[in-house]
Structure 1
Amino acid sequence: MRTTHRPLTTIALALSLFMAALEMTVVSTAMPTVVSDLGGLQSYAWVFTSYMLSSTITVPIYGKLADLYGRKPIFLFGIGLFLVGSIVSGLSTSMEMLIAARTLQGLGAGAMQTTSLTIIGDIYTLRQRASVQSVFSGVWGLAGLVGPLTGGLIVKYLSWHWVFFINVPVGLVTLGLLLTFFHEQVHHQPRKLDFAGAALLSAGVVALLVGVQGLGRNLLALSVAAVLLVAFVLVELRVPEPIIPMSIFRIPAIAISSAAGALFSAAMFGATTYVPLYVQGVLGGSPTLAGGMITPMIVGWPVASIVAGRLLLKLGFRPLILGGLGLSVVGTVLMALGLKPEAPLLVPQVGMALFGIGLGFTAPALLIAVQTSVSWELRGVATASNLFFRTIGGALGVGLMGGVLVSQLLKDPSVPLSAANELLGPEHGRGLPPELLETLSGALSSGLTLNFWLICAAAVAAFTAGLFFPRVRRDTGPDASVTDVSAPH
């Protein structure tokens, strides 16, 4: 069997992460312009939640498939699907088409997120994994620096469609590297995939998001979600090969990591989705300025991750988790207080930086704690479960905030949503009547301010969950020694 070329495999995984990180900053920068061009401010949140929802649903499924059939085929399939979704997104001529294409992108991203982090867990030891975080943190930092500028330049000089096309060359290079340099040996055994659990989980998450998006008005969807998710848990307790083994949540580190991850992701995705909208729609800033508000967070995250990788083996998981989540709370408070029409942008920028630094300490510690708690056979589903709760938290958070925003815009029935689309255009609604422009700006500002406090509440809840993280040693558990990319005999 050929051996894996670890450095080039790591570069391929870093490139896939770069695609995901760049996508976050570039799309957030371009979205107000997209809404102005295609219309449909009421569908603004769905461009993000459709992506997160499809990746959320598939993360645990891909994680199980990676444990059963190997990491490589699942990863390659995910990149291919992501690239097709990117091309279709760039070719979109309506919000409905863009949302459908983003859903396809998310289906691919679910495989990329799960298997890339699982592969890192396979080919590096705990001590090496803590250090290799600096490589991936640098990728996040680079994307955070070039993303807003790239998005602004693309929107200004080309077209927002090219925001999605830039993924294609990076994806093709990643595919080539993985095909050539990553090799694994998987000993297949006759196992059945839990189709019933996958179907119940998918339907339950969709119903839950629809209910949350309706701000509780859609009680039927919430009731259906509750029934389906309870049925999912019951099925998982009975089947021999569950999508998400309920037994892993008996491990305190995994249970607390799942809860904290869901809550801080709701705050993170809420910030990356609605801060650029506020800067461009309320303050009248350019797409580059709007996207640049995210940069302090995305640069602060990798810097903190590099430091966290060095401190993890000395301090353990708990101090990094609590310290990081505490900084995140401070950052979101500054963000909520500082994003005001009359306030200088420096205050929310500092808040975003503190928020990112906090998450940079927290996220790697939570993920490594989860991977260290289980053996090879469960590492895929354990990693997937951690990512699942992060993405479900982000999707539900953005969906809830989208419902808040739309409800504020619809308070005055005399204000058409088409005028809100015009407000986000390059002229910032200068052709609208002054009274309408003032009313619309006020409604948009009010809805987004409520969202910023929801972001703060999610960060506080994540810190509260982190208080219950167990005091465990970082050098114990099934992952105490170097691991192989081959499945155990």
Structure 2
Amino acid sequence: MTPSAATGASRLRLLSPTYAATTVGMFALVAFAAFEATAVTTVMPTVARELDGVGLYALSFAAPLASGVVGMVAAGARSDRGGPVVPLLVALVLFSAGLVVCGTAPSMQVLVAGRVLQGLGGGALTVCLYVIVGLVFPPVLQPAIFASFAAAWVLPSLFGPALAAFVAHAVGWRWVFLGVVALVAASTLLIVPALRGLAPRDEVGEPSRARLIWAMIGATAVLVLELVGSRDDAMALLAALALGVVVLSLRRLLPAGALLARPGLPAVISTRGLLSASFFCAEAYIVFVLQDRWGLSPGTAGLALTAVGVVWASASQVQSRLGQRITDVAAMRWGTGLVLAGTAALVMVVVADAPPWLAMATYVVSGAGMGFGYPRTGVAMLAASTDSDRGFNSAALSIADSLGGAISLSLSGIVFGVATRMDVDPFASVFVLAAGLAAIGVVTAWRTAPR
């Protein structure tokens, strides 16, 4: 590099005039999407009770994760063929439309439909933003913009639960959804100048129709799994068929051997999915149980989300600073072990009806495990990939992430309903499910070493 080039590179900053508006706009979009996720977790128990839809509580969380896979696959294929501008705009429209549907929903069924739209838009939004980073920002700035995305997820965990509880109390829970629409629109205006500079591509290559179809089949089967599995009649038997369809779709979307956690990359993909499955299954119910069992207010119960956000980020920084002093395999093993310890302890706290702060503390332990092990699944995946399969493996990791959480949430809805009908503690039953998934994750993490 010449001295002048080096000087030019050193002057590049995310907030320099060339990139400032785009940086702020992308950061804001990620932050508002993250705020919506943490805010909804805080107010959803209230929403479910008001709309008489506790039976669809788990589905309201599973729906956006499942439909998000479809958005990811569709946006990725479209961006590769024609550029990210059109899919990004479609993603923003779908995400905003979903927020409007949720904010005006007269019933829990309509709210779930809005969450499906949100997921389609949110999944596509994530992929499009990553593509835009590669097209707009020079390589020297890309690590910084990705770090800003991580920070954009941490900040809402600090303030989102309390703000959501305040908004719900002051003007009603509907504005937790509707208020984000205007913020998303304002953020979009900031990145429009950068989008104008991206010339549309000629559509080359064959569209990945088969992959998109399997993503749609898998997402639909996940939702059907919870809908029919929570019934108390013969229709519940269809849950087994839906689960079989989900497994079949995963075989088409993930690398060979991932469902069996074969050593190496397949086990890495499995570990990522099981980490998400266990943690997000517990996350969906931690605020619910704190309100229902111990009578905490939404704002106070939401402190659990704030604490876990801080601990997740801190643990992530610790594993980053350790670098090669701890291997990816060891980090994944420690991470899954901590998630198992946290969820298993949460079961004991709920069963013993211990003080609520103990429930929060055990959940935070799981957050530390996610912060320590979750990032290394991505590092291990890239290390096991080549130029010919890096894109497929990256997509597979995201799909395992989303569908893992969606499947566990659908199963948690079934477990919650069955336990309630059998007069068994439904919250303890759900957390037992989360602990069981974490235990399987520990086993797969021990198989992640490269062959």
Larger CA deviation: 245-254 vs 90-99: 245-254
> What is the aligned partner in structure 2 of residue 25 from structure 1?
38
Kept in 1, the 8 Å contact 2:62–2:410? The answer is yes
Provide the residue aligned with 1:450 in structure 2.
429
The residue identity in structure 1 corresponding to 2:240 is: L
SS of the residue 1:166 aligns to:
helix
- Structure 2 gaps, min length 5: 1-11
Correspondence 1:145 to 2:163: no
Aligned partner of 1:55 in structure 2 is 68
* CA apart distance, 1:149: 0.4
Deviation of the 1:115 alpha carbon: 3.1
Answer whether contact 1:323 1:358 (CA < 8 A) is retained: yes
Runs (5+) with no aligned partner, structure 1: 237-243, 413-442, 473-489
Q: Which moved more, 1:31-40 or 1:333-342?
A: 333-342
Provide closer, same or farther for how the CA distance between residues 246 and 260 of structure 1 changes in structure 2, counting only shifts above 3 A.
closer
Please show how residues 78-117 of structure 1 align to structure 2 within 5 Å: 78-117=91-130
Q: CA deviation at 1:306?
A: 2.8
Give runs of aligned pairs for residues 408-423 of structure 1, distance below 5 A.
408-411=419-422
Q: Which amino acid aligns with 2:150?
A: S
Q: Counterpart of 2:204 in structure 1: which amino acid?
A: P
Residue 461 of structure 1 aligns with an amino acid whose one-letter code is I
Change (3 A) 1:77 1:100: same
Aligned pair in 2 of structure 1 residues 103, 227: CA closer, same or farther (>3 Å)? closer
Q: Secondary structure at the match of 1:191?
A: coil
TM-superposition CA deviations, 1:330-363 (whole Å, max 9, x none): 2222222223574122322222222112211222
Q: Any idea what SS the aligned residue of 1:339 has?
A: helix
Which of 171, 175, 199 is 2:213 aligned to?
199
Q: What aligned pairs does 1:159-170 form with structure 2 within 5 A after superposition?
A: 159-170=172-183
The letter for the 1-side match of 2:126 is Q
Q: Structure 1's 107 and 339: CA in aligned 2 closer, same or farther, altered over 3 A?
A: same
Q: d(CA) in 1 for partners of 2:135 and 2:369?
A: 27
Q: 1:289 to 1:91 in 2, by over 3 A?
A: same
Residue 181 of structure 1 aligns with which residue? 194
The normalised TM-score by structure 1 is 0.77
Between the two proteins, the alignment pairs up a number of residues equal to 429
Per the alignment, residue 423 of structure 1 pairs with none
| Kept after mapping to 2: 8 A contact 1:90/1:163 | yes
1:362 counterpart = 2:380 = no
Alpha-carbon distance in structure 1 between the residues aligned to 2:95 and 2:331: 33
- Residue 9 of structure 2 is matched in structure 1 by none
Amino acid at match of 1:195: R
TM-score (norm 2): 0.83
2:306 maps to which residue?
295
Write the deviation string for residues 401-446 of structure 1: whole angstroms up to 9, x where unpaired.
Answer: 111111222336xxxxxxxxxxxxxxxxxxxxxxxxxxxxxx5xx0
Q: Indicate the residue corresponding to 1:486 in structure 2.
A: none
Q: Give the equivalent residue in structure 1 for 2:294.
A: 283
Matching of residue 463 in structure 1 with residue 420 in structure 2? no
Would you say the 8 A contact 2:222–2:246 is kept in 1? no
Q: Return closer, same or farther for 1:449/1:248 CA change in 2, 3 Å cut-off.
A: closer
Q: Which consecutive aligned stretches of 4+ in structure 1 deviate over 6 angstroms post-superposition?
A: 121-131, 247-252
Following the alignment from structure 2 to structure 1, what is the Cα–Cα distance between the partners of residues 200 and 381? 22
The counterpart of 2:317, out of the listed 257, 281, 306, is 306
Residue pair 2:230, 2:413 contacting (<8 A) in 1 also: no
**Which residue of 239, 244, 250 maps to 1:226?**
244
* Residue identity opposite 2:430 in structure 1: N
- Aligned pair partner of 1:336 in 338, 343, 347: 347
In 2, Cα distance between equivalents of 1:141 and 1:21: 8
* CA distance in structure 1 between the aligned counterparts of 2:250 and 2:48, rounded to whole angstroms: 37
1:348 to 359, 362, 365: 359
Deviation at 1:101, TM superposition (A): 1.0
The 3-state SS of whatever aligns with 1:283 is coil
- 323-332 or 365-374, larger mean C-alpha shift: 365-374
SS in 2 for 1:293: helix
Contact between 2:63 and 2:223, CA under 8 Å: does it hold in 1?
Answer: no
- With over 3 angstroms needed to count, the CA separation of the structure-2 counterparts of 1:170 and 1:254, relative to structure 1, is farther
Shift in CA distance, 92/212, structure 1 to aligned 2, threshold 3 Å: closer
2:43·2:165 contact (CA, 8 Å) conserved in 1? Answer: yes
Are 2:259 and 1:259 aligned? no
Aligned mates of 2:254, 2:291 — CA distance in 1? 44
Percent same amino acid among aligned pairs?
26
The answer to whether the 8 Å contact 1:212/1:222 transfers is no
Change (3 A) 1:225 1:258: same
Cα distance change of structure 1 residues 376 and 175 upon mapping to structure 2, 3 Å threshold: farther
Partner SS, residue 302 of structure 2: helix
Give the whole-Å Cα distance in 2 for the aligned partners of 1:310 and 1:6: 28
Which whole-Å CA distance do the structure 2 matches of 1:263 and 1:160 have between them?
31
Q: How far is the alpha carbon of 1:79 from its aligned partner?
A: 2.0
**Whole-Å Cα distance in 2 between the matches of residues 78 and 147 of structure 1?**
23
- Change in 2 beyond 3 A, CA 1:14/1:398: same
Quickly say closer, same or farther: Cα 1:471–1:133, change in 2 above 3 A.
farther
Quote how far apart the aligned CAs of 1:37 are: 1.6
Structure 1 residue aligned with 2:7: none
* 1:32 alignment partner AA: P
Instruction: Return 310-319 or 321-330, whichever deviates more.
Output: 310-319
Residues 184, 137 of structure 1: alpha-carbon distance in 2 compared, 3 angstrom cutoff: same
